[in-house]
């Protein structure tokens, strides 16, 4: 099972800090799922203010919807999915597939955001379940 393999990789190392463990978890998930980019975003306040320096531009519209609804979003094709809360910036960057799910990190609302420009349908419901299993096991 893929979740067990990811968790095994994460638990093989001793971590200096919780943030190092989270960074390694993100990298392991991204590699396993074929995501080009992955980040963990924490939100402060009802206006969903994010850290000023994100490693890459992400879809605020998708992140906001996940934070508001507390439900994951799996977008198979950001270009053609009329129900996806995508924006022009997503289309300009060529993002095709997005997975975003709600989390709680240190008693703060957060989301895990993964995307790729490689192909539509890059992430499946099984991938979403894998991510949820890995996160819940940490």
CB of 122 within 8 A of CB of 138?
Answer: no
Q: How many CB atoms lie within 10 A of CB 102?
A: 18
Domain extent, residue 60, equals: 2-137
- The three-point CA angle 55-57-62 to 5° equals 120
- Indicate whether this model's pTM tops 0.85: no
Retrieve residue 69's tokens. 């609804």
Backbone angles phi, psi at 135, to 5 degrees: -65, -40
List the alpha helices (DSSP H) in the chain.
2-11, 18-33, 60-69, 88-93, 125-137
Q: What pLDDT, on a 0 to 100 scale, did the predictor assign at position 135?
A: 84
- pLDDT, tens digit, 9 for 90 and up, residues 39-83: 888 877 666 655 545 566 787 888 889 999 999 999 888 777 656
Integer Cα distance of 105 and 63 in angstroms: 15
The mean pLDDT value of the chain amounts to 80
Number of domains forming the structure of the chain: 1
**CATH number of 14's domain:** 3.30.450.40
> Encoding tokens for residue 111?
């989301």
């Amino acid at each position: 099972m893929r979740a067990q393999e990811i968790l095994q990789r994460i638990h093989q190392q001793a971590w200096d800090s919780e943030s190092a463990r989270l960074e390694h978890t993100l990298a392991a998930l991204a590699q396993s799922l074929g995501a080009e980019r992955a980040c963990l975003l924490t939100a402060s306040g009802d206006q969903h203010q994010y850290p000023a320096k994100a490693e890459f531009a992400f879809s605020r519209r998708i992140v906001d919807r996940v934070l508001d609804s507390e439900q994951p979003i799996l977008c198979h094709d950001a270009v053609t999915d009329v129900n996806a809360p995508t924006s022009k910036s997503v289309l300009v960057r060529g993002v095709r597939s997005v997975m975003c799910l709600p989390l709680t990190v240190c008693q703060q609302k957060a989301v895990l955001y993964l995307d790729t420009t490689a192909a539509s349908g890059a992430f499946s419901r099984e991938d979403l379940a894998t991510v949820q299993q890995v996160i819940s096991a940490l």
